Amino acid sequence: MKQNLPILLSLLALPAFAEGTRELDSHEHGVGELNIAMEGKTIAMELHAPGADIVGFEYAATSDEDRAAIENAVATLAKPLDLFSFPDAAKCTVTRASAELEAEEDHDEHAKHDDHDDHDDHDDHAKHDDHDEEASHTEFHAEYVLNCDNPDAISKIDFAYFEAFPNALELEVQIVSSAGAKAFEVERDAPTLDLRGMF
């Protein structure tokens, strides 16, 4: 993926998408993000989706059932052509795929504060710490590299992603190709993205 990292980084650095770039702790349940960059016959894709969309929860896995759900989700996410279908005529194959679960504590900002002298009432501070368990957010992250022998045939992408993950409602899709950059919203009830003219 390292050779395609500059493509993805350029996608995220574009002014048109600066507002759309989101942090792990500012995600919206039901809404994921898919970045796609194409250069020649190579397509690099990066997916970010809230844990609630993929496995139905965002807390740290505590049971065998939770761990199995995460393991199954990671295995499913590691098969991009099962989730994002390109026309057969494009002859796309997966050259690399990886998926993982990431976690971040929203409470980290509070932990960075060194000065707690203005907290006269430590009971208030204890109440503030009570939200630690709820503040944990998990997000699935996947990266893919595809090779498409006939990229001119890419007229659409069908999103079986929504069938695989019933809690997912929308993907914000950002695409960069030689034709330019464009942002789309793909929703569960309209799971096909028309890409005529993008590749």
> How far is the C-alpha of 43 from the C-alpha of 150, rounded, in Å?
12
Q: What confidence score (pLDDT) does residue 7 get?
A: 52
Q: What confidence score (pLDDT) does residue 198 get?
A: 74
> How far is the C-alpha of 158 from the C-alpha of 164, rounded, in Å?
13
Q: What confidence score (pLDDT) does residue 121 get?
A: 47
Q: Is residue 190 part of a domain?
A: yes
> How far is the C-alpha of 49 from the C-alpha of 167, rounded, in Å?
11
CB-based contact 177:11 (threshold 8 Å): no
Q: Is residue 113 part of a domain?
A: no
pTM listed for this prediction: 0.75
Taking CA atoms, 69 is separated from 49, 51, 133, in Å, by 15, 11, 20
Of 192, 182, 183, 187, which Cα lies nearest the Cα of 30? 187
Q: Is residue 56 part of a domain?
A: yes
Q: What confidence score (pLDDT) does residue 103 get?
A: 83
Q: Is residue 8 part of a domain?
A: no
For residue 172, the enclosing domain spans 31-102+136-194
- Averaged over successive runs of 10 residues, the pLDDT of the chain (199 residues) comes to 50 46 54 96 97 93 95 98 98 98 59 44 43 65 98 96 97 93 96 87
Q: Is residue 54 part of a domain?
A: yes
Q: Is residue 155 part of a domain?
A: yes
Q: What confidence score (pLDDT) does residue 3 get?
A: 53
Q: What confidence score (pLDDT) does residue 104 get?
A: 67
Overall number of domains in the chain: 1
